[in-house]
Structure 1
Protein backbone atom coordinates (compact mmCIF):
# COMPACT_ATOMS: atom_id res chain seq x y z
CA UNK A 1 0.00 0.00 0.00
CA UNK A 2 1.21 3.49 -0.88
CA UNK A 3 1.94 5.65 2.17
CA UNK A 4 1.40 9.40 2.07
CA UNK A 5 1.99 11.91 4.85
CA UNK A 6 0.18 15.24 4.81
CA UNK A 7 2.02 17.98 6.71
CA UNK A 8 -0.34 20.66 8.01
CA UNK A 9 1.34 23.82 9.32
CA UNK A 10 -1.86 25.60 10.37
CA UNK A 11 -1.35 27.66 13.51
CA UNK A 12 -4.95 28.09 14.65
CA UNK A 13 -7.62 25.62 15.71
CA UNK A 14 -9.79 25.25 13.70
CA UNK A 15 -7.57 26.04 10.74
CA UNK A 16 -8.31 26.63 7.06
CA UNK A 17 -4.86 25.15 6.39
CA UNK A 18 -5.97 21.90 8.05
CA UNK A 19 -9.26 22.08 6.16
CA UNK A 20 -7.33 22.32 2.89
CA UNK A 21 -5.07 19.42 3.93
CA UNK A 22 -8.13 17.29 4.72
CA UNK A 23 -9.71 18.09 1.36
CA UNK A 24 -6.51 17.09 -0.44
CA UNK A 25 -6.32 13.87 1.58
CA UNK A 26 -9.92 13.02 0.69
CA UNK A 27 -9.25 13.58 -3.02
CA UNK A 28 -6.08 11.48 -2.98
CA UNK A 29 -7.88 8.66 -1.19
CA UNK A 30 -10.81 8.83 -3.61
CA UNK A 31 -8.60 8.79 -6.71
CA UNK A 32 -6.15 6.16 -5.50
CA UNK A 33 -8.14 3.61 -3.52
CA UNK A 34 -4.98 1.82 -2.37
CA UNK A 35 -3.34 4.45 -0.21
CA UNK A 36 -2.75 5.15 3.46
CA UNK A 37 -2.67 8.84 4.38
CA UNK A 38 -1.68 10.25 7.76
CA UNK A 39 -1.82 13.92 8.71
CA UNK A 40 1.01 15.41 10.80
CA UNK A 41 -0.07 18.65 12.50
CA UNK A 42 2.94 20.86 13.17
CA UNK A 43 0.94 22.96 15.63
CA UNK A 44 0.93 20.00 18.03
CA UNK A 45 4.72 19.69 17.69
CA UNK A 46 5.59 23.40 17.92
CA UNK A 47 7.53 23.20 21.20
CA UNK A 48 9.41 20.07 20.15
CA UNK A 49 10.35 21.64 16.81
CA UNK A 50 11.69 24.73 18.59
CA UNK A 51 13.67 22.60 21.04
CA UNK A 52 15.13 20.52 18.21
CA UNK A 53 16.15 23.68 16.37
CA UNK A 54 17.99 24.94 19.47
CA UNK A 55 19.52 21.65 20.66
CA UNK A 56 19.86 19.57 17.51
CA UNK A 57 17.98 16.68 19.12
CA UNK A 58 14.42 15.61 18.35
CA UNK A 59 12.03 14.43 21.05
CA UNK A 60 10.54 10.94 20.58
CA UNK A 61 7.25 12.43 19.35
CA UNK A 62 8.97 14.72 16.85
CA UNK A 63 11.28 11.92 15.73
CA UNK A 64 8.23 9.77 15.07
CA UNK A 65 6.81 12.49 12.80
CA UNK A 66 10.16 12.85 11.03
CA UNK A 67 10.37 9.09 10.52
CA UNK A 68 6.89 9.04 9.00
CA UNK A 69 7.83 11.79 6.54
CA UNK A 70 11.05 10.04 5.55
CA UNK A 71 9.33 6.65 5.14
CA UNK A 72 6.39 8.02 3.15
CA UNK A 73 6.11 7.35 -0.57
CA UNK A 74 4.78 10.87 -1.11
CA UNK A 75 3.97 14.07 0.76
CA UNK A 76 1.26 16.70 0.84
CA UNK A 77 2.70 19.90 2.31
CA UNK A 78 0.14 22.53 3.33
CA UNK A 79 1.06 25.80 5.04
CA UNK A 80 -0.53 29.16 5.76
CA UNK A 81 1.03 32.16 4.07
CA UNK A 82 1.87 35.27 6.09
CA UNK A 83 3.41 38.35 4.46
CA UNK A 84 4.03 36.50 1.19
CA UNK A 85 5.82 33.45 2.66
CA UNK A 86 5.45 30.40 4.91
CA UNK A 87 5.68 30.77 8.71
CA UNK A 88 8.75 29.94 10.77
CA UNK A 89 7.16 26.80 12.22
CA UNK A 90 6.92 25.24 8.76
CA UNK A 91 10.51 26.16 7.85
CA UNK A 92 11.80 24.99 11.22
CA UNK A 93 10.25 21.56 10.67
CA UNK A 94 11.85 21.35 7.25
CA UNK A 95 15.15 22.40 8.82
CA UNK A 96 15.15 19.49 11.29
CA UNK A 97 14.87 16.99 8.43
CA UNK A 98 18.06 15.47 7.08
CA UNK A 99 19.28 17.22 3.94
CA UNK A 100 18.61 14.16 1.76
CA UNK A 101 15.28 13.17 3.35
CA UNK A 102 13.10 14.27 0.43
CA UNK A 103 15.30 13.47 -2.58
CA UNK A 104 13.09 12.10 -5.36
CA UNK A 105 9.98 12.08 -3.14
CA UNK A 106 6.76 13.22 -4.87
CA UNK A 107 5.33 16.29 -3.12
CA UNK A 108 2.09 18.20 -3.58
CA UNK A 109 2.32 21.83 -2.44
CA UNK A 110 -0.64 23.76 -1.08
CA UNK A 111 -1.22 26.92 0.92
CA UNK A 112 -3.93 29.04 2.47
CA UNK A 113 -3.91 32.80 2.91
CA UNK A 114 -6.06 35.75 3.84
CA UNK A 115 -5.95 37.24 0.34
CA UNK A 116 -5.45 35.99 -3.20
CA UNK A 117 -2.36 38.22 -3.39
CA UNK A 118 -0.54 35.47 -1.48
CA UNK A 119 -1.21 32.86 -4.17
CA UNK A 120 2.17 33.32 -5.85
CA UNK A 121 3.90 32.26 -2.63
CA UNK A 122 3.60 28.64 -3.74
CA UNK A 123 5.82 29.37 -6.72
CA UNK A 124 8.21 31.94 -5.29
CA UNK A 125 8.62 30.50 -1.76
CA UNK A 126 7.48 26.88 -1.44
CA UNK A 127 8.52 25.49 -4.81
CA UNK A 128 12.15 26.75 -4.57
CA UNK A 129 12.43 25.30 -1.05
CA UNK A 130 11.37 21.82 -2.14
CA UNK A 131 13.36 22.07 -5.36
CA UNK A 132 16.44 22.73 -3.22
CA UNK A 133 15.60 19.55 -1.26
CA UNK A 134 15.42 17.72 -4.62
CA UNK A 135 11.83 16.61 -4.13
CA UNK A 136 9.69 15.73 -7.15
CA UNK A 137 7.04 18.47 -7.11
CA UNK A 138 3.72 17.99 -8.89
CA UNK A 139 2.93 20.79 -11.38
CA UNK A 140 -0.30 22.02 -9.82
CA UNK A 141 -0.06 23.91 -6.54
CA UNK A 142 -3.28 24.57 -4.63
CA UNK A 143 -3.90 27.95 -2.99
CA UNK A 144 -7.06 28.75 -1.03
CA UNK A 145 -8.13 32.24 0.02
CA UNK A 146 -11.29 33.08 2.00
CA UNK A 147 -13.11 33.55 -1.34
CA UNK A 148 -12.45 29.91 -2.22
CA UNK A 149 -14.32 28.68 0.83
CA UNK A 150 -17.41 30.68 -0.16
CA UNK A 151 -20.19 29.53 -2.46
CA UNK A 152 -18.69 31.10 -5.59
CA UNK A 153 -15.19 29.72 -5.12
CA UNK A 154 -15.82 26.22 -3.79
CA UNK A 155 -16.21 24.56 -7.20
CA UNK A 156 -13.01 26.08 -8.60
CA UNK A 157 -11.09 25.09 -5.46
CA UNK A 158 -12.43 21.55 -5.74
CA UNK A 159 -11.23 21.33 -9.33
CA UNK A 160 -7.73 22.48 -8.37
CA UNK A 161 -7.65 20.02 -5.47
CA UNK A 162 -8.70 17.11 -7.68
CA UNK A 163 -6.20 18.02 -10.39
CA UNK A 164 -3.26 18.29 -7.98
CA UNK A 165 -4.28 15.13 -6.11
CA UNK A 166 -4.60 13.27 -9.41
CA UNK A 167 -1.10 14.37 -10.41
CA UNK A 168 0.31 13.11 -7.11
CA UNK A 169 -1.51 9.77 -7.38
CA UNK A 170 -0.36 9.27 -10.98
CA UNK A 171 3.20 10.19 -10.12
CA UNK A 172 3.19 7.71 -7.25
CA UNK A 173 1.84 4.99 -9.51
CA UNK A 174 4.65 5.67 -11.96
CA UNK A 175 7.23 5.60 -9.17
CA UNK A 176 5.76 2.43 -7.72
CA UNK A 177 5.88 0.44 -10.95
CA UNK A 178 9.29 1.62 -12.06
CA UNK A 179 7.82 3.46 -15.05
CA UNK A 180 8.42 7.09 -15.80
CA UNK A 181 5.80 9.68 -14.91
CA UNK A 182 4.94 10.15 -18.58
CA UNK A 183 3.58 6.59 -18.66
CA UNK A 184 0.82 7.56 -16.27
CA UNK A 185 0.19 11.30 -16.42
CA UNK A 186 -1.36 12.81 -19.49
CA UNK A 187 -0.83 16.25 -17.99
CA UNK A 188 2.94 15.64 -17.98
CA UNK A 189 3.28 13.93 -21.34
CA UNK A 190 4.14 16.97 -23.46
CA UNK A 191 6.70 18.15 -20.91
CA UNK A 192 8.46 14.82 -20.63
CA UNK A 193 8.36 14.18 -24.37
CA UNK A 194 9.97 17.52 -25.04
CA UNK A 195 12.80 16.62 -22.68
CA UNK A 196 13.30 12.97 -23.52
CA UNK A 197 12.86 12.88 -27.29
CA UNK A 198 15.24 14.49 -29.78
CA UNK A 199 13.81 17.24 -31.99
Structure 2
Protein backbone atom coordinates (compact mmCIF):
# COMPACT_ATOMS: atom_id res chain seq x y z
CA UNK A 1 0.00 0.00 0.00
CA UNK A 2 1.42 3.36 -1.04
CA UNK A 3 0.68 6.66 0.66
CA UNK A 4 1.91 9.96 -0.81
CA UNK A 5 2.11 13.08 1.35
CA UNK A 6 2.07 16.44 -0.46
CA UNK A 7 3.13 19.41 1.66
CA UNK A 8 3.30 23.01 0.49
CA UNK A 9 5.28 24.62 3.30
CA UNK A 10 7.67 27.28 2.06
CA UNK A 11 10.11 27.47 4.95
CA UNK A 12 12.48 24.95 6.43
CA UNK A 13 11.59 23.77 8.99
CA UNK A 14 7.91 24.14 8.15
CA UNK A 15 4.87 23.68 10.39
CA UNK A 16 3.05 22.25 7.34
CA UNK A 17 5.75 19.59 6.98
CA UNK A 18 5.57 18.89 10.72
CA UNK A 19 1.80 18.36 10.52
CA UNK A 20 2.19 16.25 7.38
CA UNK A 21 4.76 14.03 9.11
CA UNK A 22 2.52 13.52 12.14
CA UNK A 23 -0.46 12.63 9.94
CA UNK A 24 1.62 10.27 7.81
CA UNK A 25 3.08 8.49 10.84
CA UNK A 26 -0.37 8.05 12.37
CA UNK A 27 -1.69 6.49 9.14
CA UNK A 28 1.45 4.37 8.69
CA UNK A 29 1.04 2.90 12.18
CA UNK A 30 -2.50 1.84 11.28
CA UNK A 31 -1.81 0.47 7.79
CA UNK A 32 1.95 -0.16 7.48
CA UNK A 33 1.74 1.78 4.21
CA UNK A 34 4.89 2.80 2.34
CA UNK A 35 5.06 6.60 2.76
CA UNK A 36 6.57 9.09 0.34
CA UNK A 37 6.70 12.81 1.16
CA UNK A 38 6.67 15.41 -1.63
CA UNK A 39 7.76 18.94 -0.70
CA UNK A 40 6.28 21.27 -3.30
CA UNK A 41 8.81 23.96 -2.36
CA UNK A 42 11.41 21.88 -4.22
CA UNK A 43 9.19 21.70 -7.33
CA UNK A 44 8.11 25.35 -7.54
CA UNK A 45 10.18 26.14 -10.65
CA UNK A 46 9.13 22.88 -12.34
CA UNK A 47 5.44 23.68 -11.73
CA UNK A 48 5.88 27.23 -13.10
CA UNK A 49 7.68 25.90 -16.19
CA UNK A 50 4.82 23.47 -16.77
CA UNK A 51 2.41 26.41 -16.98
CA UNK A 52 4.66 28.26 -19.42
CA UNK A 53 5.57 25.33 -21.68
CA UNK A 54 2.54 23.12 -21.27
CA UNK A 55 4.75 20.14 -20.43
CA UNK A 56 5.97 18.62 -17.19
CA UNK A 57 9.69 17.89 -17.00
CA UNK A 58 10.96 14.48 -15.88
CA UNK A 59 11.10 15.36 -12.17
CA UNK A 60 7.58 16.81 -12.06
CA UNK A 61 6.19 13.97 -14.21
CA UNK A 62 7.59 11.42 -11.78
CA UNK A 63 5.95 13.17 -8.81
CA UNK A 64 2.61 13.49 -10.62
CA UNK A 65 2.76 9.78 -11.45
CA UNK A 66 3.51 8.94 -7.80
CA UNK A 67 0.50 10.98 -6.65
CA UNK A 68 -1.72 9.43 -9.32
CA UNK A 69 -0.65 5.84 -8.57
CA UNK A 70 -0.78 6.14 -4.76
CA UNK A 71 -3.46 4.27 -2.85
CA UNK A 72 -4.05 7.31 -0.66
CA UNK A 73 -3.01 10.94 -0.33
CA UNK A 74 -2.35 13.37 2.51
CA UNK A 75 -2.34 17.01 1.38
CA UNK A 76 -1.21 19.80 3.72
CA UNK A 77 -0.90 23.51 2.95
CA UNK A 78 -0.23 26.68 4.89
CA UNK A 79 -3.16 29.08 4.84
CA UNK A 80 -2.46 32.43 3.16
CA UNK A 81 -5.15 35.13 2.93
CA UNK A 82 -7.82 32.69 4.07
CA UNK A 83 -7.09 29.96 1.50
CA UNK A 84 -4.53 27.40 0.34
CA UNK A 85 -1.17 28.61 -0.95
CA UNK A 86 -0.67 29.44 -4.61
CA UNK A 87 2.00 26.74 -4.93
CA UNK A 88 -0.39 24.12 -3.53
CA UNK A 89 -3.14 25.09 -5.99
CA UNK A 90 -0.69 25.33 -8.90
CA UNK A 91 0.54 21.78 -8.31
CA UNK A 92 -2.97 20.33 -8.33
CA UNK A 93 -3.74 22.42 -11.43
CA UNK A 94 -1.08 20.49 -13.37
CA UNK A 95 -2.42 17.12 -12.18
CA UNK A 96 -5.05 15.75 -14.57
CA UNK A 97 -8.49 16.53 -13.14
CA UNK A 98 -9.52 12.85 -13.30
CA UNK A 99 -6.31 11.43 -11.80
CA UNK A 100 -7.57 11.47 -8.22
CA UNK A 101 -11.00 9.97 -8.93
CA UNK A 102 -12.01 7.77 -6.01
CA UNK A 103 -8.69 8.26 -4.20
CA UNK A 104 -8.91 8.58 -0.39
CA UNK A 105 -7.50 11.95 0.70
CA UNK A 106 -6.81 13.43 4.13
CA UNK A 107 -6.55 17.23 4.07
CA UNK A 108 -4.66 19.39 6.55
CA UNK A 109 -3.58 22.98 6.94
CA UNK A 110 -1.52 25.21 9.20
CA UNK A 111 -1.81 28.85 10.10
CA UNK A 112 -0.96 31.45 12.68
CA UNK A 113 -4.44 31.62 14.15
CA UNK A 114 -7.38 29.25 14.61
CA UNK A 115 -9.61 31.80 12.87
CA UNK A 116 -8.49 30.40 9.50
CA UNK A 117 -9.44 26.81 10.26
CA UNK A 118 -12.58 26.98 8.10
CA UNK A 119 -10.34 27.35 5.03
CA UNK A 120 -10.24 23.56 5.07
CA UNK A 121 -13.98 23.43 4.48
CA UNK A 122 -14.47 26.37 2.11
CA UNK A 123 -11.28 25.94 0.04
CA UNK A 124 -9.51 22.57 0.35
CA UNK A 125 -12.49 20.23 0.57
CA UNK A 126 -14.22 21.74 -2.52
CA UNK A 127 -10.93 21.51 -4.47
CA UNK A 128 -10.60 17.77 -3.85
CA UNK A 129 -14.31 17.21 -4.36
CA UNK A 130 -13.93 18.82 -7.79
CA UNK A 131 -11.05 16.39 -8.45
CA UNK A 132 -13.46 13.55 -7.53
CA UNK A 133 -11.35 12.38 -4.59
CA UNK A 134 -12.92 10.84 -1.48
CA UNK A 135 -12.03 13.25 1.34
CA UNK A 136 -12.15 11.88 4.89
CA UNK A 137 -14.66 13.61 7.20
CA UNK A 138 -12.06 14.93 9.64
CA UNK A 139 -9.80 17.68 8.29
CA UNK A 140 -6.89 18.68 10.52
CA UNK A 141 -5.95 22.31 11.12
CA UNK A 142 -3.00 23.28 13.31
CA UNK A 143 -2.72 26.87 14.54
CA UNK A 144 0.38 28.16 16.28
CA UNK A 145 -1.11 27.49 19.72
CA UNK A 146 -1.81 23.83 18.85
CA UNK A 147 1.87 22.98 18.89
CA UNK A 148 2.05 23.70 22.62
CA UNK A 149 -0.16 20.70 23.32
CA UNK A 150 -2.51 22.61 25.65
CA UNK A 151 -6.16 21.63 25.83
CA UNK A 152 -9.24 23.48 26.96
CA UNK A 153 -12.85 22.62 27.66
CA UNK A 154 -14.01 23.64 24.19
CA UNK A 155 -11.59 21.93 21.80
CA UNK A 156 -9.92 18.55 21.61
CA UNK A 157 -6.17 18.43 21.21
CA UNK A 158 -4.28 18.30 17.94
CA UNK A 159 -3.23 14.73 18.71
CA UNK A 160 -6.88 13.66 19.01
CA UNK A 161 -7.76 15.24 15.67
CA UNK A 162 -4.77 13.58 14.00
CA UNK A 163 -5.74 10.19 15.43
CA UNK A 164 -9.37 10.53 14.30
CA UNK A 165 -8.39 11.59 10.77
CA UNK A 166 -5.79 8.80 10.54
CA UNK A 167 -8.41 6.23 11.60
CA UNK A 168 -10.74 7.46 8.85
CA UNK A 169 -8.09 7.39 6.13
CA UNK A 170 -6.78 3.99 7.24
CA UNK A 171 -10.32 2.59 7.12
CA UNK A 172 -10.80 3.88 3.57
CA UNK A 173 -7.44 2.49 2.48
CA UNK A 174 -8.17 -0.97 3.91
CA UNK A 175 -11.57 -1.20 2.23
CA UNK A 176 -10.71 0.39 -1.09
CA UNK A 177 -11.17 -1.78 -4.15
CA UNK A 178 -7.93 -2.29 -6.10
CA UNK A 179 -7.49 0.08 -9.04
CA UNK A 180 -8.15 -1.39 -12.43
CA UNK A 181 -5.43 -0.35 -14.82
CA UNK A 182 -6.68 0.20 -18.37
CA UNK A 183 -5.37 -2.30 -20.86
CA UNK A 184 -3.51 0.07 -23.17
CA UNK A 185 -2.63 -2.72 -25.59
CA UNK A 186 -6.23 -3.79 -26.12
CA UNK A 187 -7.35 -3.32 -29.71
CA UNK A 188 -10.91 -2.11 -30.29
CA UNK A 189 -12.18 -3.05 -33.76
CA UNK A 190 -12.81 -0.05 -35.99
CA UNK A 191 -16.44 -1.03 -36.52
CA UNK A 192 -16.99 -0.95 -32.75
CA UNK A 193 -15.36 2.48 -32.51
CA UNK A 194 -17.68 3.80 -35.25
CA UNK A 195 -20.74 2.24 -33.60
CA UNK A 196 -19.92 4.10 -30.38
CA UNK A 197 -20.04 7.41 -32.29
CA UNK A 198 -23.46 6.84 -33.88
CA UNK A 199 -26.36 8.65 -32.25
CA UNK A 200 -29.00 6.44 -30.67
Say yes or no: TM over 0.5: yes
> What TM-score comes out, normalization by structure 1 length?
0.85
Between structure 1 and structure 2, the one with the greater Rg is 2
- Does structure 1 retain, via aligned residues, the 8 Å contact 2:149–2:157? no
Give 1:176 deviation, angstroms.
4.1
Q: Tell me, which stretches of 5 or more residues in structure 2 are unaligned?
A: 180-200
Give 1:30 deviation, angstroms.
1.1
Runs of 4 or more consecutive aligned structure 1 residues displaced over 3 Å after TM superposition: none
1:150-174 CA distance string (max 9 Å, x none): 1315x71011001101100101111
Does 2:97 match 1:96?
no
Who is 1:32 aligned against?
31
- Paired residues for 1:1-199 under 5 Å: 2-33=1-32, 35-153=33-151, 156-176=157-177
Give 1:177 deviation, angstroms.
7.2
- How much is the aligned-residue C-alpha RMSD, in angstroms? 1.6
> What TM-score comes out, normalization by structure 2 length?
0.85
1:129-166 CA distance string (max 9 Å, x none): 1001110010000000001001315x710110011011
